[in-house]
Amino acid sequence: MDHTLVIGYGNIHRADDGVAHVIVNELRRRLRQNELPDDETGLSGLGRSIDSVFLLQLTPELIDIIVRYEGVVFVDAHVYDNVEPVLCHPVIPEKTSLTFTHHMSPSMLMALAAELLNLRPEGYLVSVRGHDFDFRRGLSAETMRHVKPAVEAIMTWINSRGHNT
């Protein structure tokens, strides 16, 4: 059976930077799983065919987790003006700067997994346009409008991999 991990990342205390937390919890509701409280990552509850977690950032330590999955969906916020509000595309491992850092992109993380462990799970990125990154809880109305389409994009990708959700 194909196993998929959804990794949402961002900061729930920086307004729209927490959009991935909202998306992960909406996805968990759709999958009839318990929502993640604000203070839990979901890392302690792994083991389903579709797992989801929410983290502050991507780190090299995640390699030990993502290699257990055939597919990994990354969910975050973006700030690009001249693109679709919900960006969805495959994650291509990027070998250009394989250094250990406190800030990693999905492509860098996937490249490290390939380089260090010779494992290549399929990656997919769903990134939602953020408008407000002030120090506060809650999403702007503009970003909130794109939560449902982002969840639909994730579900479509998961279902295309043979899951019955």
Helices within the chain (DSSP H only): 19-30, 63-66, 106-117, 141-144, 147-160
What is the bridge-based pairing of β-strands 86-91 and 122-129? Answer: antiparallel
Task: Please choose, from the candidates 122, 138, 164, the residue with its C-alpha nearest in 3D space to the C-alpha of residue 16.
Answer: 138
| Selected residue with higher pLDDT from 99 and 129 | 129
Neighbours of 61 (CB within 10 A): 8
pLDDT for 42: 98
Digit-coded pLDDT (tens) for 30-43:
999 999 999 999 99
Domain ranges of the chain: 4-160
Q: What is the dihedral of CA 57, 61, 66, 67, to 10 degrees?
A: 160
Q: Which fold has domain 4-160?
A: Rossmann fold (3.40.50)
Query: Which residue carries 């729930």 as its tokens?
Result: 12
pTM above 0.85, yes or no: yes
78-100 residue pLDDT tens:
999 999 999 999 999 886 555 55
